[in-house]
Structure 1
């Protein structure tokens, strides 16, 4: 009988799995229990022969007949510990409705635990400390309502205060929610803008469920996110005219190329500086020191990828006048800008692209900009930037892209 125990355990777990979803495929079962598809078919036949009313739908999967319920399966000690840890984590989240409803649900679960498990969970709760959000600040109370609206395809009316403190009334079709940097974000189709928008829940001033339904959107969340990446990331280089000659012979950089850059958004840290008297070299070096020392890259939300941009914008004139430098990453949205950082939308347009390669510690960036200043370019002085991608990770042999906006 000992050799039968693993299978008995698996059969019980399969029943629980079937009860947890409307439809479960044979592959889902096989992957969860690390068995072959043939073994799954054999287990299903065993359960059917024991009287479990399993419905098979060809090409879809398995389900248990509606209305049929088995007594609840008891939690293992490890599962109970996981629930307690999840409770402590969720209580630190900033949405009151999530914390309240999860705690209510968990109370019902605790009521059915073994006495020995209850004792251990109470002891364990005193030995776990979550240091995120130490004040247990609650900044929103709409998450659960919005989750219901997403599942019910219900139009929601909100009054929203943007990060620029612009107050607006919107009717939106809730699509998805996600959390980043401690904030919950709603992705919704805005009926006024006729497009998808992202809203921070802590900026929603009021919310009303209208009771009106909308037609479900056909795209998935992954497709939406992929569309965002395509929309805001720079496009592959497309040569619009023949390449110009290099700056000088034997220089380790590529030809000059004319490229078209699509609009994008960036979040990072910034400084106002000027090239006069070498001030920019000092200021930007300090900004890079802060970016690396404070691990800003890891703190930027909604990044498209980990490519670092050094952006120059808000020029007061040409390159000899003051301007703003931003070091950061391209992001999908500016709805969640951490304290101490700034966000900027770049319109894109026509650019000249050059590259240089060498030792970053030997000032190759400054040397390249000196050459760019000497070029006969009809510069726009709106936004120029450097791109530090994978080829820039080797400090002694880094390849850097320079993109200069032109009219």
Structure 2
């Protein structure tokens, strides 16, 4: 990565953050060493970029800082267009509407050459969520809201062999497997992370409880477990695709 690109990405990683970002997190995001982050931040500060903070404390852009607007290269623009198309096709109505508004704003700010490139992106995403029998977009919106608010949910769930169970879960993420969807949770019955197929959930009712902020039951902990046990997630993915793959 060119140094100029790295400095740009560093500033962008700080843009809009209310809390200081630790140097180790910046290093992980940029794929560089801590020493490189410290040197780059120091260089940006000397050049007038209003970055505040220090090693061990973290860094933040000063409130109200006037940073030039972003501009995308062709590969970045293509990735954005594809991502927005998938959000419009597969996300709930709220995110689909937000994706459409975002695309209008992006296109309005693009020079003609890049706008033409955006129009030629060949990866499409027709609206087909791979689920049936209910307004699935509304389900996704409801789950997104529950995850953001940390609401504990009571699920009426049917297992693979048809047995009905009642689970209280702390929802953490929604995973799309290319035709099938699962809800990643901390399952209180099992005392472990579990994935639930959305089309097997008969009902989802908030218990009225807000999940405690416990690091061992967080999304970050779930992702660490997945990285440590990739074969378990591969099995979940294989079952989801086998049962709900698009024709």
Answer yes or no: same fold by TM over 0.5: yes
| Correspondence for 1:76 | 73
| Correspondence for 1:338 | 242
With over 3 angstroms needed to count, the CA separation of the structure-2 counterparts of 1:335 and 1:57, relative to structure 1, is: farther
1:101-159: CA deviation from partner (whole Å, max 9, x where unpaired): 4344333333332333223212x14x3356xxx77245233334434433432223444
With over 3 angstroms needed to count, the CA separation of the structure-2 counterparts of 1:101 and 1:165, relative to structure 1, is: farther
Q: Is the 8 A contact 2:51 2:59 kept in 1?
A: yes
Alpha-carbon distance in 1 for matches of 2:237, 2:40: 48
Q: Is the 8 A contact 1:176 1:221 kept in 2?
A: no
Give the alignment partner of residue 136 of structure 1, picking from 120, 128, 132: 128
| Correspondence for 1:304 | 232
With over 3 angstroms needed to count, the CA separation of the structure-2 counterparts of 1:336 and 1:129, relative to structure 1, is: closer
TM-score normalised by length of structure 1: 0.45
Q: How many residues align?
A: 231
| Correspondence for 2:60 | 63
Alpha-carbon distance in 2 for matches of 1:34, 1:156: 37
Deviation at 1:221, TM superposition (A): 1.0
**Structure 2 unpaired stretches of 5+:** none
With over 3 angstroms needed to count, the CA separation of the structure-2 counterparts of 1:158 and 1:184, relative to structure 1, is: same
SS in 1 for 2:153: strand
SS in 2 for 1:118: helix
With over 3 angstroms needed to count, the CA separation of the structure-2 counterparts of 1:66 and 1:183, relative to structure 1, is: farther
| Correspondence for 2:198 | 201
Greater strand percent: which structure?
A: 1
Alpha-carbon distance in 2 for matches of 1:185, 1:214: 20
Moved more, 178-187 or 167-176: 167-176
With over 3 angstroms needed to count, the CA separation of the structure-2 counterparts of 1:111 and 1:162, relative to structure 1, is: farther
Alpha-carbon distance in 1 for matches of 2:223, 2:110: 38
Alignment partner of 1:16 is 2:12: yes
Q: Is the 8 A contact 1:185 1:199 kept in 2?
A: yes
Alpha-carbon distance in 2 for matches of 1:37, 1:189: 33
Mapping 1:328-407, distance limit 5 Å:
331=235, 336=240, 338-339=242-243
Alignment partner of 1:54 is 2:51: yes
1:45-84: CA deviation from partner (whole Å, max 9, x where unpaired): 2322344332224425322234545242122222111112
| Correspondence for 1:182 | 179
Mapping 1:222-233, distance limit 5 Å:
222-225=223-226
With over 3 angstroms needed to count, the CA separation of the structure-2 counterparts of 1:66 and 1:176, relative to structure 1, is: same
Greater helix percent: which structure?
A: 2
TM-score normalised by length of structure 2: 0.68
- How much is the aligned-residue C-alpha RMSD, in angstroms? 4.0
With over 3 angstroms needed to count, the CA separation of the structure-2 counterparts of 1:204 and 1:101, relative to structure 1, is: farther
Alignment partner of 1:118 is 2:46: no
| Correspondence for 1:172 | 169
User: Highest relative contact order (Cα 8 Å, sep 6+), 1 or 2?
Assistant: 2
1:311-350: CA deviation from partner (whole Å, max 9, x where unpaired): xxxxxxxxxxxxxxxxxxxx4699737249xxxxxxxxxx
Q: Is the 8 A contact 2:177 2:241 kept in 1?
A: no
Deviation at 1:215, TM superposition (A): 0.8
Name which one, 1 or 2, has greater alpha-carbon Rg. Answer: 1
1:9-51: CA deviation from partner (whole Å, max 9, x where unpaired): 5433321122165544445555666766555434322322344
Q: Is the 8 A contact 1:198 1:333 kept in 2?
A: no
1:276-295: CA deviation from partner (whole Å, max 9, x where unpaired): xxxxxxxxxxxxxxxxxxxx
**Structure 1 unpaired stretches of 5+:** 1-5, 230-301, 307-330, 341-407
